[in-house]
Each structure stands twice: as C-alpha cells, then as structure tokens.
A = this chain, B = another copy of it.
Amino acid sequence: MSATAPDADSHLISPLETNLIERVCVGDIVLRSADVYPNSVAIVDGDRQVTYAQLNAMVDQLGHALLGLGLQHQDIVALAARNNLEMLLCYFACARAGLICMPINLSLRAHEIAFCLRDAKARVLVADQMLRGLIEAACQESLPELQRTFWFGADGIDAAQDFNALVAQGASQPLEVLVGDRDIVQLLYTSGTTANPKGVLTSHLAVTIASLSNAIMNRCTEHSAALVGLPLFHCAMLNSVAVPYLTVGGKLVLTQGFEPATCARLIDAHQIDLLVWLPMMYGLWLNDPAYQGRTFASVKRAMYAMAPMPPERQKAIAAMFPNADVILGSGQTEFTPATCVQRPEHQWSKAATWGTATVMTRVAIMGEDGQLLPRGETGEIVYRGPQGMRGYLNLPDESRNSFRHGWFHSGDVAHMDEDGAIWFKDRYKDVIKSGGENVASIEVERCLLQHPAVVDAAVVGAPHERWGEAVIASVVLAAGHSADEAELLAHCRGLLGGFKVPKAIVIATEFPRTGTGKIQKHLIRRELSEFFKNT
C-alpha cells in the first residue's frame, strides 16, 4: 500500500504512454495521415490503389506479424523489392514495430547482396517473386542469421513463405511499442572508399527531419502527387520523395523502369507535380515519341540528381514542363540524403552549382587542418544536421573518421559563393558517381587485379553525358601476358554489379608514380577526362 492516498487527478503514465505522446517515429507518419486523410489515395501501384486508412491498417497488421515471428527491437528485416506497395508497407511496418528495414540495392550482384545480408545479420527477408533468381542466388551463400524468407507478387507460394499469409496473421489493433527518436529505422548500403558496401544507419529523427525539410522545399501538400520514377531502395526516392509526400497526405504514383508512354499517361492521370529523374533519363525521354512536342502543365518541379546537365537539355525540359522549376538536388545516403538543392531563382544563373543547403542542414567548406574556410576558398564540403546518419554498421573507425572535427566529411571538394551555392571541384574520396550509384574505385581495381594478365589497375570516373561520370579503367599488363578490353570487361561482368563494370578499359604501358612509388591517380584521371567527350 502506498503511504499516501492517490489523488483522483494523479495518474501513472507508463514509459510506453510517454513515448507514444512525445516520440519521433517514422511509423507514426502514416498513422497521422490516416487520421486526417483516411480516404485519400496514398499509393498508386499499377492497378492497385490504397488509401491512407488502408495503408495504415496494413502497417499495423504486418508490424504485429513481424513481431509475432519473434523479432526483437532493432532486428533487421531485409527487403528485396522494386517500386511497389509491399516495399513501402514493409518500410513503415518495420518503423512502427521498432525494427530496422534494409532495402536491398537491386543493382548489386548476388554475392554482394549476400555480403550485405551477412553484414547486417538480417533475420527476415521479404522479397519480390520477380527477383527470385537473384535473391535465391544470394541466399545460397552462408547466411546463418537469416531465419525466414517471405515472397510476394505471385500466387501459389508455399504458405510458410507467403508474404500475404504473413500479413494476414497480424492482429488488426494499433501496434504500439516503444520507439526512441534516435533508434535506427533504415539501413542502406552505399559504396564508398572501401571495397565492400558500407551499411548506413539512419534514425527515426533523421528520416523525419529530412521528410519535413523536403516537404518545405518541394512545397508539397495533401493535393500533391509525385511520380516515383527512380528505385525506392535509394534514399533519394525513399527519403526525399516518398516519406515527405506521405507525411503531408500527398499521393505517390509508383513506376518501375523506363517506360516513357506509361510515365506520360501517369503524369496526366494523376496531375503529377514532382518528378525526380537522372539527367540521362530526361535525355532519353526528351527523344521519345511519347513526349515529342508534349507539355505537362501539372509538373511544378522537375528535379534531377547526380550532376549538372547541359543547358540545352535543361531548356528542353523547361519547355516540356512549362510550370516547373528545373533544379538539381545533391546529397548522400549518410545525410538522408538531400544536402543541397538549387534555389528556383538560381536554376539558370547557377545551374552549374550543386545548390545551397537544404532546410535544417548546415553546409560548410573545411580545410585540411579542420578549420572552416571563408567564402570563395576551396576545401572539403562538410555537413551538420540532425538528418545525418548515426554511423556505419560494424565500422566504428570509418564512422569516427567521417565525423572528424565535428562535421560529416563528404569527400567532395568545392567552394561556396556569396549566396551559399556550392561549386563542386573534385573528389577526395576515391568514389565514382555513375548513374546515381556510388562506385568505389578500389572495388573495381581489385576485381581487375584478379585477372591473371593484370598487374596494375587504376579506376577513375570520367565525365559522361549519360552517366554523369562513367567508370573507366586503365590497366598495366603483366610481362608475357596479353588480354584485350573485351576479355577484361567480360571478367568484370562476371564479378561486379552492372553499374560498377567500366564503360571502357584502356591498356597502358606504365602508370605515372610519385617519388615513393605511389600511383598518381590525379594524372590518370586528367588524362582520361576527355575520353567520352565525343561519344
């Protein structure tokens, strides 16, 4: 018995109740939108449309079902999916259940996917039946932590592996478990300076702040509709488009792959106001019969990622979308991801820049001594802000190094002008950004060195109209060995995800080296920088 009688007005509030009131949880985003816009369409996936109320109910059900498998707080659920309803359903169900969702990059090869699954100790895998070949190949490797795999997208799947049967097992009441602001909600693997992909751990708070920031920048409302034209397993689409639109009650229209006629139809049918494509995709579409001579008045913002595009292409895009700002956004997975976006008033005058800092992001230029540099001086781009990652999974040294001097280090070199716009110059880290993907030079170099004829390999990025940067390799052959470009390319294709395979391999007699024998890659980069100029 308590020494004092309880006051009629005093109530014990449990830790869970306190958490439910005040927390920042990505799973709550769909819940709130379902409160306010229950009958609005949240997601259009081909012939399927789900309202917010329906999506929210499915999220509860799948969340319960996942926890019913015995998964513990912050366990990892891997997800192999194209842009479809199940992808977003899994993402939000994990978020609400306090689990970590790990969307798999489908450009990776089976053995790379196996590496990620093993590194993450993923316990459950949800996969699209259409990807069965790739995923089963990955699962042939030793994955001792992986306990269950569920498939969706086909009939007649064995009940124990049927995703729809899993969902149906879940209770329908609201799923309410403790979730901390800085618990992890997503794990995305990104290529970096290391040979293996690095797992980027991102918190509920980071995803939420990024979502609100993007909603402000893209002026999206409950009447907005975005075309989800790039893969959702990239955080550009997931965190800069999908989550923000669902936060404000807007509509997501999913597409898979390049189908100009389909996209044109969807833009009209859903009065799409936001597009995010790569420069090369705009290029392909500009020339497609589905777009020739057409204009799309509903589009308010035609964003592009990766790298500035030629002015003529930008003008052609502006003509096709007469009410749209045509602007570049840049960023990286470690910052969830948008760090800079061009301001509309800079879209022509500063089209060659990366834009200025996004809402809630600080961007600065740092010298090699860790001091911030004044405007106009060149150094490394560094970031601060609550949308930053918590760290790389299993890589404490890499994580600490990326945050040295109290800022996140991008590895990109630039100066900032008087308006805060970032003028990219070079890259510190040995990473090539090709077609929206990061490629670690070292990984491609190691692959080439596995070929018996290759004694030295240097892999760099060269400017390329379609890919932004294209992977290009220079190799030195071993004395007495021979190999031609085609043979070496075939070798790479056998070992590397498609986007990592060099677009060209040049055979050199020797490499420029420093006095201590280190390869001078900047000289090789300069030499190859014109390689694709006329292709």
- What residue of chain B has the Cβ atom nearest to residue A14's Cβ? B406
Give per-residue flags for A1-42: 1 if the beta carbon is below 8 A from chain B beta carbons, else 0: 000000101111110111011111000100110011111000
A363 touches B (CB below 8 Å): yes
**Do A357 and B21 have beta carbons less than 8 Å apart?**
no
Q: This chain: how many copies in the complex?
A: 2
A386 touches B (CB below 8 Å): yes
A401 touches B (CB below 8 Å): yes
In the complex, what distance in Å separates the CA atom of A20 from the CA atom of B406?
7
A185 touches B (CB below 8 Å): no
Neighbouring B residues of A186 by C-beta, 8 Å = none
**Do B363 and A403 have beta carbons less than 8 Å apart?**
no
**Do B212 and A360 have beta carbons less than 8 Å apart?**
yes
Neighbouring B residues of A360 by C-beta, 8 Å = 32, 208, 212, 247
Which residues of A from 113 to 138 have beta carbons under 8 Å from B? Answer: none
A276 touches B (CB below 8 Å): no
In the complex, what distance in Å separates the CA atom of A60 from the CA atom of B181?
28
In the complex, what distance in Å separates the CA atom of A348 from the CA atom of B362?
41
Given A216-B216, A219-B221, 9 additional A-B pairs, CB 8 A: A7-B397, A20-B406, A32-B359, A32-B361, A35-B364, A36-B420, A212-B360, A219-B219, A248-B359
**Do A17 and B222 have beta carbons less than 8 Å apart?**
no
A345 to chain B: closest CB distance in Å?
A: 8
- Name 16 A/B residue pairs within 8 A (Cβ), A-sorted: A10-B397, A11-B401, A13-B403, A13-B404, A17-B405, A18-B403, A21-B407, A32-B360, A35-B364, A39-B418, A212-B216, A212-B359, A215-B216, A216-B216, A216-B221, A247-B360
Q: For this complex, into which size category does the number of interface residues on chain A fall?
A: 35 or more
Neighbouring B residues of A20 by C-beta, 8 Å = 384, 406
A251 touches B (CB below 8 Å): no
- What residue of chain B has the Cβ atom nearest to residue A370's Cβ? B11
Of A32, A209, A215, chain B has the most CB atoms within 10 Å of the CB of A32
**Do A386 and B248 have beta carbons less than 8 Å apart?**
no
Neighbouring B residues of A385 by C-beta, 8 Å = 21-22, 32
- What residue of chain B has the Cβ atom nearest to residue A213's Cβ? B212
Neighbouring B residues of A209 by C-beta, 8 Å = 24, 212
**Do B28 and A362 have beta carbons less than 8 Å apart?**
yes
A381 to chain B: closest CB distance in Å?
A: 13
A474 touches B (CB below 8 Å): no
Neighbouring B residues of A304 by C-beta, 8 Å = none
